[in-house]
Chains A and B, each alone.
Chain A
Amino acid sequence: MPFVRRYKDMNTNLEALYKDIVSELQNEKELNIGKELKGDVNGVPFMSVTANRTSVPKLITGTLREATVTITGERNDYLIEMHTGEWFSNLAMPYFGATILAGPLAGLAAVGTTGLMAANYGRKLKNRIKELVKKHSKEKYTEEKVETFT
């Protein structure tokens, strides 16, 4: 599920924000930066980074598969989109139901808690991005300057 926020009147250094987000993704040992795209789209600055899981997961259902963060706009009016993809998310359900649907594959998520789960990682990254937006903005962060689309 993508998470999009629009930020206004924050005077944010978007280049620095982007670089810190890339560092954040690089710091996660299970992820590897797969692609970065930077440029202008119809005159609007655009930066996007995708990190993929580097190794075979210990679990399948609900495990983080990739994360993409995109920043587009100007320092006083921009959008951040965060996408965290997970495997077989629509098979996530209690263990027994999952095994009925898909044999041992779908129930794996319920067995252990050591996997890098997309939902947990998404929450962590969302909070981290909020901190980074504050760090790189010259104007004060207030809720009325932020609009969330889910």
Chain B
Amino acid sequence: MPFVRRYSDLNTNLDGLYQDIKKELQQDKDLTVSNETEGVINDVPFKAITAVRASLPRAITGTLREVTVTIAGHPDEWLLEMHTGTWFGNMILPGAGGFLVAGPFGAAATVGGTVVLAAEYGRKLKNKIKELVKKHSGKAYSESKIETFVS
């Protein structure tokens, strides 16, 4: 489920923000940065980074598969999109239901508590990004400068 925020009037250092987000992704031992895209589209600066799961998951359903963070815009008007992908996210059911739908792999995520779940990771990264936006902005952060779009 993508999460998009529009930030206005924050005078944000978007390069600094991007580098810190990249570090955040690199610090996660379960992820490896697989792609970075940087450029300008119709005069709008654009940067995107994708990190994918580096190793086989211990469980499948609901486990974090990849994360992409994209920043597009200018210091006083920009968008941030965070996407966290999960395997078989539309088959997430309580344990027994998982078995009915997909055999042992459907229920696997319910077996252990040690897997990196996409939803949990997404929440953590969203909070971290909020901190980083504050750190790299030259103006005070306030809710009125932010608009959130979820589908």
A residues at B contact (CB < 8 Å): 2, 4, 6, 32, 34-35, 37-44, 46, 48, 50, 52-60, 65-66, 68, 70, 72-73, 77, 79, 81, 83, 85, 87-91, 101-106, 108, 111, 149-150
Partner of A102, one of B52, B55, B79: B79
Partner of B56, one of A41, A50, A55, A89: A41
Contact A34 B57 (CB under 8 A): no
What does DSSP make chain B's interface, helix, strand, loop or mixed? strand
Contact A88 B6 (CB under 8 A): no
Contact B104 A44 (CB under 8 A): yes
B residues at A contact (CB < 8 Å): 2, 4, 6, 32, 34-35, 37-44, 46, 48, 50, 52-60, 65-66, 68, 70, 72-73, 77, 79, 81, 83, 85, 87-91, 101-105, 108, 111, 147, 149-151
Contact A87 B102 (CB under 8 A): no
Total CB contacts across the A-B interface at under 8 A = 146
Contact A88 B41 (CB under 8 A): no
Closest-by-CB residue of A relative to B63 is A41
Contact A41 B57 (CB under 8 A): yes
